[in-house]
Amino acid sequence: MSIEIFKFGGTSLKDKRSRKIAAERIKEAVNKKIRPVVVVSAIGREGSNYATDTLIKLAEESYPKLKNREKDLIMSCGEVISAVIMVQNLRKKNIEASGLTGAQAGILTDEKYNNSTVININPENILKLLNKDIIPVIAGFQGISKNGEITTLGRGGSDITASIIGAGLSAEKINIFTDVSGLLTGDPKVINKANFLKTADYKEACELAYQGAKVIHPSAAEIAMKNEIPIEIRSTFNNKEGTIIDAVDDRKKLNPITGLACRDNIFYTKIRAHQGINYDNGLQVFQLLADQKVSVDFINIKESMISFVINNEKRQLTEKVLQKNNFDFQIAEDYIKVSIVGGGMTGQPGVMAKIVNSLNEVGVKIYQTTDSHIVISCLIKKKDKIKALNALHDAFNLNKIGG
> CA-CA distance, 137 to 126, in Å (whole number)?
9
pLDDT for residue 276: 66
Question: Where residue 189 falls among pLDDT bands split at 50, 70, 90?
Answer: confident
Task: Inform me whether the pLDDT recorded for 353 exceeds 80.
Answer: yes
pLDDT for residue 21: 96
Closest CA to 37 of 120, 112, 105: 105
pLDDT tens profile 95-111 = 999 999 999 999 999 99
pLDDT for residue 257: 87
Closest CA to 42 of 157, 209, 160: 157
Q: Which domains does the chain have, with CATH numbers?
A: 3-179 (3.40.1160.10)
Are 389 and 187 in contact, with CB atoms under 8 Å apart? yes
Closest CA to 218 of 200, 235, 198, 236: 200
Report the range of poorest mean pLDDT among 132-141, 159-168, 188-197, 315-324.
Answer: 188-197
Most confidently predicted of 74-83, 197-206, 273-282: 74-83
> CA-CA distance, 17 to 369, in Å (whole number)?
45
Task: Inform me whether the pLDDT recorded for 337 exceeds 80.
Answer: yes
What are the φ/ψ torsions at residue 376 (nearest 5 degrees)? Answer: -125, 125
Rounded mean pLDDT, 293-307: 89
Task: Inform me whether the pLDDT recorded for 254 exceeds 80.
Answer: no
Rounded mean pLDDT, 381-394: 96
For helices 157-169 and 124-131, give the axis angle rounded to 10 degrees.
Answer: 70
**Torsion-angle region of residue 243: left (phi > 0), alpha (psi -120 to 50) or beta?**
beta
Of all residues in the chain, what percent carry a pLDDT higher than 70? 96
Which of the pair, 206 or 277, is modelled with greater confidence? 206
What are the φ/ψ torsions at residue 274 (nearest 5 degrees)? Answer: -155, 180
Report the range of poorest mean pLDDT among 175-179, 274-278, 332-336.
Answer: 274-278
> CA-CA distance, 80 to 55, in Å (whole number)?
13
pLDDT tens profile 2-26 = 999 999 999 899 999 999 999 999 9
The DSSP line for 318-369 is: HHHHHHHTT-EEEEE-SEEEEEEE-GGGTT-TTHHHHHHHHHHHTTPPP-EE
pLDDT for residue 403: 47
Q: Is pTM, for the whole model, over 0.85? A: yes
Which of the pair, 181 or 142, is modelled with greater confidence? 142
How far apart, in Å, are the Cα atoms of 374 and each of 49, 123, 158, 185, 224? 41, 35, 26, 15, 19
Task: Inform me whether the pLDDT recorded for 274 exceeds 80.
Answer: no
Question: Where residue 275 falls among pLDDT bands split at 50, 70, 90?
Answer: low
Question: Where residue 294 falls among pLDDT bands split at 50, 70, 90?
Answer: very high
pLDDT for residue 249: 56
pLDDT for residue 68: 94
Task: Inform me whether the pLDDT recorded for 363 exceeds 90.
Answer: yes
The DSSP line for 215-254 is: SS-HHHHHHHHHTT--EEEEETTS----EEEES--STTTT
